[in-house]
Every structure is written in structure tokens, then in C-alpha cells.
Structure 1
Amino acid sequence: MTPTTPATVFVVDDHPVVRDGVTLLLRSDPCLSVVGSAESGRLAIERVAALAPDLILLDLRLPDMLAPEVVTELRRVHPEGKIVVFTAHGDHQGVLAALESGAHGCLLKDAAGAQLVTELRRVLRGERVVDPRILPDAGQRSDALARSGLTRREYEVLRLAAQGQTNPEIAESTGLARNTVKTYLQSALHKLGARNRVEAIGKASEAGLL
């Protein structure tokens, strides 16, 4: 992207109305050029690898993949691209996981058109932009997570356990095998110095993780 060349944008959303609306909105700005779209995570990864857009606007909820996994794969196939999660669910547990997977920002779908364009331009300049209504303490949680030594997956499994989910339910929520969930949970317990999941949840809460 140069001062005279529009930044290229790729839109990922499983709702055609949203894809078309966002595409129409962004095309009204001469500094942005929509070069493609996808309705699923796998299709997005394939097309982004081929198109190499400057920015990917990614819906948090897709039918085939969790947003954090999509972010991880997009960064693998196109590390230079900026990724902004676009969601109607500001308090969704996936927002923090997507940011920790490498997303450069997260915006709400009720943002005014002019505001959306302004925020995307900020991301393209290298800023990290998160709507203040979305997880206002996300930065503090990220710092606490780094200090804890927990991986993103260990944290994700522990967070779902804190919500009262059983191992089979966590497996269904994350797409992981039940044995894998058990392994992540045991590893989280070890890193937190906890003897069981109740104690681990308590220690994680005290550390500002939950």
C-alpha cells in the first residue's frame, strides 16, 4: 500500500447481507478497496493466501471454525495482513482468544460507517484498535496470562471449566478431543500450582485471569 494505492480489504462473514453491506460501505471510501470475501474460515484461509490483502475483516462466529483458529491460520498463510475481528457479541469469550491469537483489533458491528472506516485506517497504520465496549479489561488479562505461563489453549479450557462446563462439554465447544481437554486442564493446574479444577479456578481468578 502506498499513499496513492488503496489498501486492499477481504471480508469474512457467513451472512450475505453483512458481507454485501460492509463491502458497499468500504467501497465508498477511496482509501479502501474490497478485493474479495468468504463465508467460512477454510475458504477465507484459502483465498487470503492467494489474494494477500492488506486487511482481513473477520466475523467472530463462523460455521466451520473457531475465530482464534482462523486468526492463527490467516497469520500463517499471510503474516503481513492485518486482522480485525468484527462482531455483534462484544462480551463473547472468543474475543479475547482471537486477540491473543494475533488479531490486530476488534470492532462491533453496530459501529457507524465513518467510524468503522476510521478505525480500519488506524489498524492499517499499525495501531491495535479494540472498541472500548469490548472486554475493557482485556489488556490486563493478557498481561496476567503472560505472567501465568498458560498457553492460549490451556487458558481457554480453564475459562470454560470456570463457566461450569464438563470436559465433554469443553471438548464440544472447542472441537478438541476429550483426552486433549484433560491434558490441557492438567497442565493448567500444574502451572497454577493447584490440586484440582476448583482450586485452579480460584487461583486464576485471584491472578486476574477470569
Structure 2
Amino acid sequence: MGAIRVALVNDYEVVVRGLAAMMRSYAQVLQVVELDMGEGAAEPVDITLYDTFAATQGDREEVRRLAADPRSGKVVVYSWNLDPALASAALANGAAGYLSKGLPAGELAAALQGLHRGESEARVVLTGSSKAGAGDWPGREEGLTQREAEVLALITQGLGNAAIAERTGLSPNSVKTFIRSCYRRIGVTTRSNAILWGIEHGFRPDRGRIRPAGGEAAR
């Protein structure tokens, strides 16, 4: 049996590249064939891993659209939002699995293999032993945590606090806390300056498709 063909989907190139790097040690069983920003799989794959960083959650149209596309194979939502009700909504929306971003790379690889085999216990994994911060994200080199970066990405996209809370599953007070800590880290005091900083530091969503085994597609 050959390696499981995997497409990684998120609107930020640095995020999907970080995921691909996490999975590199498991290339014999998981072959990452596409990194997709704002796109679905271009050719049939076995699993599409949908990273929710600065994206809609599994109960929204994006996952429904991916799940309806036969090229996507099994769609797996990869999220920090560990609300069991949201995981259930994602499965009802067509996702084959819902995995915590707290999973270490080895446990993520094992869960994806289990989902490919159709194991029911692999469908929802809402725990993880690794420290927050696996993979990569815009602003990491500037000291932003993944959650701070996600909030800043949504600010850069033009979302208000209420919309950010809805998108991320954070409480309104948590959103405000992340905004304050984010502003301190990047040295700004206003939303307009935060947006400008975000634009200058790669917080605008990307579009395009990268094929690791065959070179990069034009974007």
C-alpha cells in the first residue's frame, strides 16, 4: 500500500509550509502533494487537511465545499477550537475528522492514518500533549504566538472584534486580551497601525497552489 496522498489547505503560505515541514518525517506514509492557499485540491488526494488558522471553522461553507469535491478525499479539520459541539457540526458538514492542533507531529500522522483506514476512534481528537506553537505562522519571528498572530491576521483582513470572536471561537474578552498583547509585541497602539504592520509583515491572505514534488505553480 502506497503513501496516503495529502493536500494541506489554509489561506497563508507560511502555515501550510509549516505543516508540511511537521509531516516531513512521516513521508513514507503521508505524501504531501499540494499546499493550497485559497484553493481546493487540483487533483484527487486521499486526505485534505484544513487548517483553521485565520479561517472559518468546520461548520461553515468552506468545509462543506471541500467535502463535496470528490478530489478532496476525506476532509479533516485541524483546529485550536476544541468545542465538541463544533467538532460534531464539522462532521455533520461533511468532514471525516476533527483534530486538535495540540497534537504532536507523530500523533497527527497516526490520526490521519487511522482516518484513512476508517477507524471511528480517530474521527475526533480534542486533546494533545504538545506545547502550543507547532508548525509555523506569520509573525512568529517577531515573537507573536499563534493565537496572537491569528487575531492580527483577522484584524488585517478587516474584521471587527465581534467577527473575530465568532471566527475563532474565542470569547470577546479573550479577543481583547490577545489584541492588547499583540499590540505590545509589535509596538503599535492603534488598529490602523496594526493593520499597516500586518500588511507589511505578510498577514494578507495568499492565493495559489504549491506542489512540493513537482515545483511551484504560478500564482
Distance 1:114 1:61 in 2: 20
Q: Which has the larger radius of gyration?
A: 1
Asked whether the equivalents of residues 60 and 95 of structure 1 are also in contact (C-alpha less than 8 Å), the reply is no
Instruction: Please state whether the residue corresponding to 1:102 is helix, strand or coil.
Output: coil
Match of 1:90 among 78, 82, 87: 82
In the superposition, the TM-score normalised over structure 1's length comes to 0.52
Check 1:132–1:62 CA distance in 2 against 1; reply closer, same or farther (3 A cut).
closer
Question: Paired residue for 1:36?
Answer: 34
The structure whose residues are more often helix, as a share, is 1
Asked if the contact 1:11–1:56 (Cα under 8 Å) also holds between the matched residues in 2, the reply is yes
Query: Take 1:96 and 1:58, find their aligned partners in 2: how far apart are those partners?
Result: 16
Provide the aligned length of Structure 1 versus Structure 2: 128
Higher relative contact order (CA 8 A, sep 6+): 2
Match of 1:193 in 2: none
| 92, 97, 100: which one aligns with 1:108 | 100
Provide the C-alpha distance between the structure 2 equivalents of 1:59 and 1:70, rounded to a whole number of angstroms.
11
Equivalent-residue separation in structure 1 for 2:52 and 2:119 (angstroms): 20
1:138 paired residue number:
none
TM-score by length of 2: 0.50
**How has the CA–CA distance of structure 1 residues 66 and 120 changed in structure 2, closer, same or farther, with 3 Å as cutoff?**
closer
Match of 2:69 in 1: 77
Equivalent AA in structure 2 for residue 130 of structure 1: V
* Structure 1 residue aligned with 2:124: 130
Shift of 1:125: 0.2
Partner of 1:119: 111
Unpaired stretches in structure 2, ≥5 consecutive residues: 129-161, 168-219
Give the aligned residue type for 1:23: A
Preserved CA contact (<8 Å) 2:9 2:49:
yes
Task: Spell out the pairing of 1:40-51 with structure 2 (5 A cutoff).
Answer: 40=38, 43-44=39-40, 48=41, 50-51=42-43
- Residue correspondence of structure 1 range 158-173 to structure 2 within 5 A: none
SS in 1 for 2:118: coil
In structure 1, the partner of 2:6 is 9
- Percentage identity across aligned positions? 29
